[in-house]
Amino acid sequence: MSLIVQKYGGSSLADIAKIKRVARRVAKVREQGEQVVVVVSAMGKTTDHLIEMAHRVSDQPDARELDRLLSTGEAISSTLLAMSLKKLGCPAISLSGAQAGIHTDSSYSRARILNIETGRIFREMSKGKVVIVAGFQGITRDMNIATLGRGGSDTTAVALAIGLKADMCQIYTDVEGIYTADPRLVPEAVKMEKVDYDEMLELASSGAKVMHARAVELGGIYGMPILVASSFSDRAGTIICREASFMENINKVRGIAHDTNVAKITVVRVPDQPGVAAAIFVPLAEAGISVDTIVQNASIENCTDLTFTVTRDDLPRAIEVTEKVTQRIGAERCVSAVGLAKISVVGTGMQSTPGYAAKMFRSMKDAEINIQMITTSEIKITCIISEGRVEDAVRVLHKEFGLARGE
Amino acid sequence: MSLIVQKYGGSSLADIAKIKRVARRVAKVREQGEQVVVVVSAMGKTTDHLIEMAHRVSDQPDARELDRLLSTGEAISSTLLAMSLKKLGCPAISLSGAQAGIHTDSSYSRARILNIETGRIFREMSKGKVVIVAGFQGITRDMNIATLGRGGSDTTAVALAIGLKADMCQIYTDVEGIYTADPRLVPEAVKMEKVDYDEMLELASSGAKVMHARAVELGGIYGMPILVASSFSDRAGTIICREASFMENINKVRGIAHDTNVAKITVVRVPDQPGVAAAIFVPLAEAGISVDTIVQNASIENCTDLTFTVTRDDLPRAIEVTEKVTQRIGAERCVSAVGLAKISVVGTGMQSTPGYAAKMFRSMKDAEINIQMITTSEIKITCIISEGRVEDAVRVLHKEFGLARGE
């Protein structure tokens, strides 16, 4: 008998009919003799609705209170799923993050799991029950509720799978797996059978919004196999596991990711001296603004231009912070631009093999797509381009790197 | 500096605007130098909505899961009120029943408070915070959430006031206090300044739905003064306290209560032998049906008729249970009736003074209101009458016992 941790997202639990559907799926797995622990997100748009209520009370809702408020979303979905399973004759019990022994630090709204006391879950399992755990939340040392941030239920599921020494973690969502590119843009995009943790991490952080990056990272550290599949079909999904591509797809680009939620800020003629980067990025971090791509050009006349990207939502606040810094460090000015997109080519196979970047840039040039910024990691090459050309770019690169089926 | 426990009901917290209004009231009391602990119910119809969702999942939702589900209602209202207070510059923190140290037994949906560990509340108060406690809920020894049943937030408030040795418990609701009769039926009904616990208990159990009976009982045992007042006005309410009427209103009827949610069942020709009452009422109790008035006539030919009342909602199940019992104990048959109402005259002053019952029956006769059943307690006389005559009866008795102002 194997032990599986299954996670169902908000779209899979959006209404009572969908909750009953998930209950039938879980009961079926159970009937096949598997032990199941289920992690749930809040139903549909519940979390958005709760955040909206909080913002009607206060423009800056207290972080501790907000986390306690948001945790009710998973309390509702988990209890309804437990009732639904019992109705089907399948013994079940729902547990809050605290009841499930999920201990976190006190960083409200972006807490980290410190450890999981698995005693209660194992006790309930030994009584033959399916255990349903409210995702996205845990309890601090001071007995306060803290949430893990958006997408945190993925992290709960992977962390629980590791803590319970499960055989697999299954993430059920509204897509059928990880594709070589967004299938809405590239009809010939192929669902991958397996993908490496690092590749998945780069795909996730580059705009493939299937799974929360922290969860993938955690899975990678402990080597927990993660299945990503649809809760609305029985088709095979994608398994994220160790060295998946090393064994199967050596020397190969694995996928094309893109993200259109991109704005850039350039600080012009920054004096080229130590501490300048810190002077810019520390205040941004303190303002809670996440900076993505950073590019600094080579120094000319002891001055350099420094460009970075942020999400569009963060742009107004990022400009405010950066303009103050610009004056203080004696840079010339700061300019911003929207209407941008990020496109990335990802694959561990690129790691030791030259020529991928060149191939990417050449095919962009042939398609007359202008590249505004470039960054590279060991397994990813990212270009910032005009938003209007992103669909073309995805299609061109998908073809160039031979990702369609049979190529 | 005195310590006050305030409880706000669902209608006082029905929307964001009303929550902000309550926050301003609490902040004002705080500014006057009082220490305040606030107990909240769920917002408006939240509890009904959650119950409805549960019943869409299962016709008999699991009791433990239902309690965890329902507890989210107070989590939402308590966190929003805390945010609202902080927005006003008033330090505040919300606590779940578990965080507030409210320990209950494991009787889900009708749990009893076993004890309150006040450590955390006092710690937060010593930091200068208004503590907001989610009403209606506590935690069992097994770390499960249990609710206290409908109106349980009143019990939470009174129990907390006792546990914290508060100076007073204030119950804020949508009525301005306790009246000598329902002011919608009797315009000249008078708001009482004070009322005794026992009188309040009889009024509450006889249909005056202002306050939960268990909370009044608890207040009476520990002598905790309870103010009942409106959260929508600043008018003085009614204080429930010890021997209020003994000192002020000796030998006087204090109020007229009525309830139209009444159905009756009569078991005809019950063999008059030991154990028959238990044979009828134990199965009803086990089915979770609350029996109100019970009348057994004098025995004729070793047979007796036994009549009791239940709420109308419970009638179909009560008939089902009683019919089985009727056969088993060899009674002739059981018959039921709806369209009934209960009317009660309440006052500790009646305790040692004869003539009140006679006066009540005579004025009913003069108004040609037929009495179907009669029961009496030390401080209450209750008649079951036709529902159609209940308004007349309230008016007649209110006048007969001189309850209008100035009489």
For chain A, which domains are there? Answer: 3-174 (3.40.1160.10), 256-400 (3.30.2130.10)
Q: What is the predicted pLDDT for the residue at A101?
A: 97
Q: What is the mean pLDDT of residues A206-212?
A: 74
Q: Where does the pLDDT of residue B143 fall: very low under 50, low under 70, confident under 90, or very high at 90 and above? A: very high
Residues on chain A touching B66 (C-beta within 8 angstroms): 79, 83
Q: Where does the pLDDT of residue B270 fall: very low under 50, low under 70, confident under 90, or very high at 90 and above? A: confident
CA-to-CA separations, B85 to A106, A334, B131, B280, in angstroms, rounded: 22, 40, 11, 53
ipTM comes to 0.76
Q: What is the mean pLDDT of chain B?
A: 89
Higher pLDDT, B210 or A321: A321
> Distance (Å) from the C-alpha of residue A367 to the closest C-alpha of chain B?
53
Query: Which two three-digit tokens encode residue A118?
Result: 């698995």
Cα angle for residues A184, A189, A194 (degrees, 5° grid): 120
Look at residue A275 and tell me whether its pLDDT is greater than 80.
Answer: no
Look at residue A354 and tell me whether its pLDDT is greater than 90.
Answer: no
pTM for this model (two decimals):
0.81
Beta bridge partners of A37: A5, A131
Q: What is the predicted pLDDT for the residue at B352?
A: 59
Rounded-to-integer distance, Cα B128 and Cα B147, Å: 29
Q: Where does the pLDDT of residue B298 fall: very low under 50, low under 70, confident under 90, or very high at 90 and above? A: low
Q: Where does the pLDDT of residue B304 fall: very low under 50, low under 70, confident under 90, or very high at 90 and above? A: confident
Residue pair B196/B334 in contact by the 8 Å Cβ criterion: no
C-alpha A373 chain-centroid distance: 23
Look at residue A353 and tell me whether its pLDDT is greater than 70.
Answer: no
Per-residue H/E/C for A343-378: EEEECHHHCCCCCHHHHHHHHHHHCCCCEEEEEEEC
Q: Which of A216-225, A276-285, A331-340, B138-147 has the lowest mean pLDDT?
A: A276-285
Higher pLDDT, B292 or A352: B292
Inter-chain CB proximity A68 and B79 less than 8 Å: yes
Q: What is the predicted pLDDT for the residue at A349?
A: 66
Inter-chain CB proximity B82 and A65 less than 8 Å: yes
Look at residue B275 and tell me whether its pLDDT is greater than 90.
Answer: no
Inter-chain CB proximity B99 and A54 less than 8 Å: no
DSSP A387: G
Higher pLDDT, A57 or B183: A57
Of A16, A54, A57, the CB nearest to B57: A16
Q: Where does the pLDDT of residue A127 fall: very low under 50, low under 70, confident under 90, or very high at 90 and above? A: very high
Inter-chain CB proximity A75 and B96 less than 8 Å: no
Q: What is the mean pLDDT of residues A28-57?
A: 94
C-alpha A68 chain-centroid distance: 23
Q: What is the predicted pLDDT for the residue at A277?
A: 79
Higher pLDDT, A53 or A244: A53
Q: What is the predicted pLDDT for the residue at B353?
A: 64
Of A57, A68, A75, the CB nearest to B19: A57
Sign of CA dihedral A388, A394, A399, A401: positive
Residue pair B322/B333 in contact by the 8 Å Cβ criterion: no
Q: What is the predicted pLDDT for the residue at B105?
A: 94
Q: What is the mean pLDDT of residues A389-401?
A: 91
Residue B33: CB atoms within 10 Å = 8
pLDDT tens digits, B349-370: 676 566 777 788 888 888 998 8
Q: What is the predicted pLDDT for the residue at A115?
A: 94
Provide the percentage of residues in chain B whose pLDDT is more than 90: 53
CA-to-CA separations, B44 to A40, A135, A320, B13, B68, in angstroms, rounded: 27, 27, 42, 6, 19
Inter-chain CB proximity B58 and A83 less than 8 Å: yes
Cα angle for residues A119, A121, A127 (degrees, 5° grid): 105
Query: Which two three-digit tokens encode residue B122?
Result: 């006092």
Residues on chain A touching B53 (C-beta within 8 angstroms): 16, 76, 80
Q: What is the mean pLDDT of residues B276-298?
A: 80
Rounded-to-integer distance, Cα A102 and Cα A115, Å: 6
| CB of B58 less than 8 A from some CB of A | yes
| CB of B61 less than 8 A from some CB of A | yes
Which H helix or E strand runs over A65?
helix A63-87
Nearest to B162 by CA among B126, B216, B110, B204: B216
Q: What is the Cα gyration radius of chain B? A: 23
Nearest to A379 by CA among A345, A347, A353, A342: A347
pLDDT tens digits, A56-105: 999 889 999 999 999 999 999 999 999 999 999 999 999 999 999 999 99
Inter-chain CB proximity B53 and A20 less than 8 Å: no
Look at residue A245 and tell me whether its pLDDT is greater than 70.
Answer: no
Q: What is the mean pLDDT of chain A?
A: 89
Q: What is the mean pLDDT of residues B249-267?
A: 82
pLDDT tens digits, B222-243: 999 999 999 988 888 999 998 6
Higher pLDDT, B197 or B244: B197
Q: Where does the pLDDT of residue A135 fall: very low under 50, low under 70, confident under 90, or very high at 90 and above? A: very high
Sign of CA dihedral B390, B392, B395, B398: negative
Interface of B with A in 301-320 (CB under 8 A): none
Q: Which residue in B has a C-alpha nearest to residue A76's C-alpha?
A: B69
| CB of A276 less than 8 A from some CB of B | no
Residue pair B272/B313 in contact by the 8 Å Cβ criterion: no
Q: Where does the pLDDT of residue B188 fall: very low under 50, low under 70, confident under 90, or very high at 90 and above? A: confident
Q: What is the mean pLDDT of residues B249-266?
A: 82
Rounded-to-integer distance, Cα B233 and Cα A275, Å: 61
Higher pLDDT, B254 or A274: B254
Highest mean pLDDT of the ranges A201-205, B74-78, B146-150: B74-78
